Amino acid sequence: MSFTLPQKLLTEFIGTFFLSLTICTAAIHGSTDEYVPFAIASTLMVVIYAGGHVSGAHYNPAVTISVYLRGSCDKDDVLPYIFSQVSAAMIAALISEKLLTSEKDHSVELFSLSSEAVIAEFLFTFLLAYVILNVATTESTSGNGYFGAAIALVVLAGAITVGDISLASFNPAVTSALIISGKVSLSSSWMHFLPQFIGGILAAYVYKFNTK
Amino acid sequence: MSFTLPQKLLTEFIGTFFLSLTICTAAIHGSTDEYVPFAIASTLMVVIYAGGHVSGAHYNPAVTISVYLRGSCDKDDVLPYIFSQVSAAMIAALISEKLLTSEKDHSVELFSLSSEAVIAEFLFTFLLAYVILNVATTESTSGNGYFGAAIALVVLAGAITVGDISLASFNPAVTSALIISGKVSLSSSWMHFLPQFIGGILAAYVYKFNTK
Amino acid sequence: MSFTLPQKLLTEFIGTFFLSLTICTAAIHGSTDEYVPFAIASTLMVVIYAGGHVSGAHYNPAVTISVYLRGSCDKDDVLPYIFSQVSAAMIAALISEKLLTSEKDHSVELFSLSSEAVIAEFLFTFLLAYVILNVATTESTSGNGYFGAAIALVVLAGAITVGDISLASFNPAVTSALIISGKVSLSSSWMHFLPQFIGGILAAYVYKFNTK
Amino acid sequence: MSFTLPQKLLTEFIGTFFLSLTICTAAIHGSTDEYVPFAIASTLMVVIYAGGHVSGAHYNPAVTISVYLRGSCDKDDVLPYIFSQVSAAMIAALISEKLLTSEKDHSVELFSLSSEAVIAEFLFTFLLAYVILNVATTESTSGNGYFGAAIALVVLAGAITVGDISLASFNPAVTSALIISGKVSLSSSWMHFLPQFIGGILAAYVYKFNTK
């Protein structure tokens, strides 16, 4: 399987974006440091499994240099890769600042959803569906044994990173359970349902772009 | 291997039920948030490995939509899948409320078992046996390398989710050790043994339904 | 590959023994509950990977019943399996009481080793070598991808379970580092070195018994 | 694939060095014990996956003895292996003392980097690239399913072990995000960038030595 440069750069962008978003959101600005190393490692793991077959999943200029010196990265790819990685990281840092203006207390009875929750549910449901499509439905990775771990760790990363922001549902069925449990009100539940379905739909189109 | 719609729907139901049960029990009502993201991720991982070969293991309407758009889910399966997922999540939310009426202090010397402990031991021993039968004894998944992780993470999820309710044994041999250790009394030990064996037996029949 | 009943029973005994030892030592008597679910899950995972190819790695009477009903366990094996599992669990409960008489404060400068430390280093170095021999040097499991996880998680389980008792070295090279760091005195270092080498040697003979 | 004794000894040295460094830095001298068992297990896991195909990845004299008795280690390799392991452990203990003179408060707004941060970024970026080259670009391990876990767990181990010392970036793109987030100043960012690129470059040369 051979991929085009735009497909590789999009993959490097998505991977480095989520890695940096997790680091900035969970570790740098976060009110609590709980489980942060696990969120970071999980995010890295899932984007490696999702994108390894497309771009090699470097997500790191030092790795791109190292892999290039070893002879496993095209010379012409080195600078575009680094540019894609650094710009993804910078954009992630800016978005994580937006996300963090609305951190909430997780223990309150009824969780009031905000526009930041909409962004959080959108981003991680997109990542969830993007990972699933790449590890569980694509030919390049068929027969792999890591699909369950990769998919589940998106939820681990999301729960740690944006749990305080959106309750980390990423799943309309789970949101239904949260409504029954009295944790999310029916009237604000569209702030879960809408970004969740949009995230899933966008992932399908990104996947199609990357495999066409 | 091709599975019937009822087999797929049962698989989606079981997976979404345990995912939602873990989220509602451990995260929403729980007195402590300790390790909750790990319980949720572990539950998702084990039901993916247990059911992936049957239904694709979506357990999430947004994923079903995304996989359908990508072309890997039958159009006729979309609505039944979503219905099975949402009803499983709602039932899980109701059962988790029952479970949580009896939360106990883990540190007391002799642990007094309650009817909630019976439910907890039944549910997670069922899940343990259901996962084992699907990842370690079935042809569709033979040769996989994740069987040990999948089985062990049922216990991780259960220990975090219902450890305060039933001591999270899920195993008559472990209950024997707990009796020796003076943590469970001999007279109440049937509240472990009985649901454990029933859970194991039910799993065998669910497995047979799903592979016949 | 077909194994004899004594080989299967020894495997069930070792697996259930370490599972129960971890539960009793880390969870029941332990002064702190930190990471206990992870220790239990890790122990279960490593003994499954170490023994699955020999006995099926049930380590649980309810699982034995379930696997028998499904048709993957010989009728004549059911009762001996359960007997081996229950006796291993009971012995583990008794040994964990011995171990726990000497729990120490991890933060003191020089760690004073005790006879309990000798038992702890022996048991977990045995488990480490037993797992390595079974997942990294044996034909029945060759080509597996879980060897690194299985081996490393012995150390995770051991560090959580007996870290307060023996510093959880299980490795003469690590003990050398602990001596340099001033954490273990040279004069008491034989309480690490001796049980570590004996554990490694015993594992080699148990392995040979199980594969002859 | 057959490797020379110097290649095997270098592999045993690197593996035992990082295992001992993690134990000494995170567990023995560390101001906090948080997640230490996970750092140790992750380090062991990644060096096993990185070096297993070269030296068997013992990293432990008791394991070398055990594997030798089982018949899977050359008699002539036993003493050199143990010498390499013990000297790596002792050097790691000395370096970890240097590292720990500069532990910082993670929560301060602008993180001031020190010479210890330079060492930390160098060591773990080297390990990251060394693992990537061995698990994701080499023929002996091609087709494995653990590459994502192995690579990600370097970051988990590093975040726990030296997070308080250097912020655990190991990645110039992540450092860019940290500059945008105001956590690292532009003027001191060379203390990340320089050791990161040097670590990646050195790993490429070590890899070439080990596969030539």
pLDDT for B96 equals 86
Q: Tell if the CB–CB gap between D177 and A44 is shorter than 8 Å.
A: no
Q: Tell if the CB–CB gap between B177 and C49 is shorter than 8 Å.
A: no
Give the least confident one: A60-64, C1-5, C198-202, D9-13. C1-5
Report the alpha-carbon distance of residue B156 to residue B38 in Å, rounded.
Answer: 8
pLDDT tens-digit series, residues A193-208: 999 999 999 999 999 9
Number of separate domains in chain B: 1
Section C150-160 average pLDDT: 90
Q: Report whether pLDDT(A25) > 70.
A: yes
Q: Considering CB atoms only, which of A107, A149, A180 is closest to B93?
A: A180
pLDDT for A112 equals 72
Report the alpha-carbon distance of residue B134 to residue B49 in Å, rounded.
Answer: 8
Strand stretches in A86-178, DSSP E:
none
Separation in Å, CA of D122 to nearest CA in chain A: 11
Q: Tell if the CB–CB gap between B149 and C45 is shorter than 8 Å.
A: yes
B16: contact with A, CB 8 A cutoff:
yes
Rg of chain C, C-alpha, whole Å: 17
Q: Which residue of A has its CA nearest to D162?
A: A37
B108: left (phi over 0), alpha (psi -120 to 50) or beta: beta
Separation in Å, CA of B8 to nearest CA in chain A: 16
pLDDT for D36 equals 86
Report the alpha-carbon distance of residue C80 to residue C86 in Å, rounded.
Answer: 10
Residue A9 CB neighbour total at 10 angstroms: 21
Instruction: Give chain B as a 3 state SS string.
Output: CCCCHHHHHHHHHHHHHHHHHHHHHHHHCCCCCCCHHHHHHHHHHHHHHHHHHHHCCCCCHHHHHHHHHHCCCCHHHHHHHHHHHHHHHHHHHHHHHHHHHHCCCCCCCCCCCCHHHHHHHHHHHHHHHHHHHHHHCCHHHCCCCCHHHHHHHHHHHHHHHHHHHHCCCCCHHHHHHHHHCCCCCHHHCHHHHHHHHHHHHHHHHHHHHHHC
C79: contact with B, CB 8 A cutoff:
no
Please state, in angstroms and as integers, the Cα–Cα distance from residue D14 to each residue in A64, C154, D11, D124, D134, following that order: 22, 21, 5, 12, 13
Task: Name the band, by pLDDT with cuts 50, 70 and 90, for residue A114.
Answer: confident
Task: Name the band, by pLDDT with cuts 50, 70 and 90, for residue D29.
Answer: low
The C-alpha angle C74, B131, B139, rounded to 5 degrees, equals: 60
pTM: 0.89
Q: Report whether pLDDT(C200) > 50.
A: yes
CB A99 within 8 A of CB A116: yes
- The two structure tokens encoding residue D87: 């000297």
CB D145 within 8 A of CB B143: no
pLDDT tens-digit series, residues C164-186: 888 899 999 999 888 888 888 99
- The two structure tokens encoding residue B22: 């873990």
Q: Tell if the CB–CB gap between B200 and C62 is shorter than 8 Å.
A: yes
Q: Considering CB atoms only, which of A148, A183, A201 is closest to B69?
A: A201
Q: Tell if the CB–CB gap between A155 and B40 is shorter than 8 Å.
A: yes
Mention every residue, 6+ apart, whose C-beta is less than 8 A from residue A40.
A19, A22, A23, A26, A27, A157, D155, D156, D159
Residue entry with tokens 């694509």: A138
Write the DSSP symbol of residue D113: P
Q: Tell if the CB–CB gap between C45 and B178 is shorter than 8 Å.
A: no
B2: left (phi over 0), alpha (psi -120 to 50) or beta: beta
Residues of chain B contacting C45 with CB distance shorter than 8 Å: 148-149, 151-153
Q: Tell if the CB–CB gap between B62 and A125 is shorter than 8 Å.
A: yes
Q: Report whether pLDDT(B103) > 70.
A: no
What are the start-end ranges of the H helices in chain C? 5-22, 36-55, 61-70, 75-99, 115-136, 147-166, 172-180, 190-211
Q: Tell if the CB–CB gap between C155 and D42 is shorter than 8 Å.
A: no
Section D24-51 average pLDDT: 80
- The two structure tokens encoding residue A141: 């990775």
Report the alpha-carbon distance of residue B98 to residue B116 in Å, rounded.
Answer: 7
Separation in Å, CA of C141 to nearest CA in chain D: 14
Q: Considering CB atoms only, which of B33, B67, B94 is closest to A132?
A: B67
Q: Tell if the CB–CB gap between B28 and A149 is shorter than 8 Å.
A: no
Task: Name the band, by pLDDT with cuts 50, 70 and 90, for residue C31.
Answer: very low
Section A167-189 average pLDDT: 89
Task: Name the band, by pLDDT with cuts 50, 70 and 90, for residue A30.
Answer: low
CB C12 within 8 A of CB C83: no
Q: Tell if the CB–CB gap between D171 and A28 is shorter than 8 Å.
A: no
Residue entry with tokens 């068992």: D37
pLDDT tens-digit series, residues B18-50: 999 988 887 665 545 578 889 899 999 999 999
Supply the angle between the helices A147-166 and A36-55 in degrees, to the nearest 10.
Answer: 130
Instruction: Give the number of beta-carbon pairs within 8 Å between B and C.
Output: 148
Phi, psi angle pair for A56, to nearest 5°: 90, -10
Q: What is the CATH number of the domain that holds D43?
A: 1.20.1080
Average pLDDT value for chain B: 87
Q: Considering CB atoms only, which of B37, B49, B65 is closest to A156?
A: B37
Percent of chain A with pLDDT over 70: 91
Report the alpha-carbon distance of residue D105 to residue C140 in Å, rounded.
Answer: 49
Residues of chain D contacting A70 with CB distance shorter than 8 Å: 133, 137, 204, 207-208
Report the alpha-carbon distance of residue C155 to residue C149 in Å, rounded.
Answer: 10
Q: Tell if the CB–CB gap between B52 and A136 is shorter than 8 Å.
A: yes
Burial class (CB in 10 A: 0-12, 13-18, 19+), C143: exposed
- The two structure tokens encoding residue D139: 């023929």
Write the DSSP symbol of residue A34: T
Percent of chain C with pLDDT over 90: 53
Mention every residue, 6+ apart, whose C-beta is less than 8 A from residue C153.
C42, C43, C45, C46, D41, D45
Stretch (H or E) spanning D192: helix D190-211
For residue B61, which of A129, A182, A157, A138 has the smallest C-alpha distance?
A: A129
Section A49-57 average pLDDT: 91
Report the alpha-carbon distance of residue D174 to residue D168 in Å, rounded.
Answer: 9
Q: Report whether pLDDT(A1) > 60.
A: no
CA dihedral B54, B55, B56, B57 (to 10 degrees): -100
| CB-based burial, B168-182: b 16+ in 10 Å, e otherwise | bbbbbbbbbbbbbbe
CB C37 within 8 A of CB C106: no
Separation in Å, CA of C63 to nearest CA in chain D: 28
Section B97-112 average pLDDT: 61
Which is more confidently placed, D25 or C127?
A: C127
Average pLDDT value for chain D: 87
Section C55-68 average pLDDT: 92
Residues of chain B contacting C40 with CB distance shorter than 8 Å: 155-156, 159
pLDDT tens-digit series, residues A73-92: 999 999 999 999 999 999 99
Rg of chain B, C-alpha, whole Å: 17
End-to-end CA gap in chain A: 11
Residues 22-51 of B with CB under 8 A from A: 23-24, 28-29, 33, 36-38, 40-42, 44-46, 48-49
Give the least confident one: A114-118, B32-36, C27-31, C46-50. C27-31
Range of the domain at D198: 5-211
DSSP code string of D127-174 = HHHHHHHHHHS-GGGTT-S-HHHHHHHHHHHHHHHHHHHH-S--SHHH
D-contacting chains (≥3 CB pairs under 8 Å):
A, C
For residue A58, which of A3, A12, A9 has the smallest C-alpha distance?
A: A12
Report the alpha-carbon distance of residue B125 to residue B120 in Å, rounded.
Answer: 8
Q: Report whether pLDDT(D45) > 80.
A: yes
Average pLDDT value for chain A: 87
pLDDT for C189 equals 92
Give the least confident one: A98-107, A132-141, C49-58, C91-100. A98-107
Section C70-97 average pLDDT: 91
B-contacting chains (≥3 CB pairs under 8 Å):
A, C
Q: Report whether pLDDT(B108) > 50.
A: no
- The two structure tokens encoding residue C23: 């539960």
- The two structure tokens encoding residue D15: 């593996």
Write the DSSP symbol of residue D185: -
Separation in Å, CA of C60 to nearest CA in chain D: 26
Report the alpha-carbon distance of residue D194 to residue B16 in Å, rounded.
Answer: 48
Q: Report whether pLDDT(B183) > 90.
A: no
Its ipTM equals 0.87
Residues 94-153 of A with CB under 8 A from D: 94, 96-97, 144-146, 149-150
pLDDT for D102 equals 54
Stretch (H or E) spanning D203: helix D190-211
Mention every residue, 6+ apart, whose C-beta is less than 8 A from residue A47.
A14, A15, A18, A19, A57, A59, A131
Separation in Å, CA of B20 to nearest CA in chain A: 6
Q: Report whether pLDDT(B176) > 70.
A: yes
Give the least confident one: A154-163, B2-11, B71-80, D23-32. D23-32
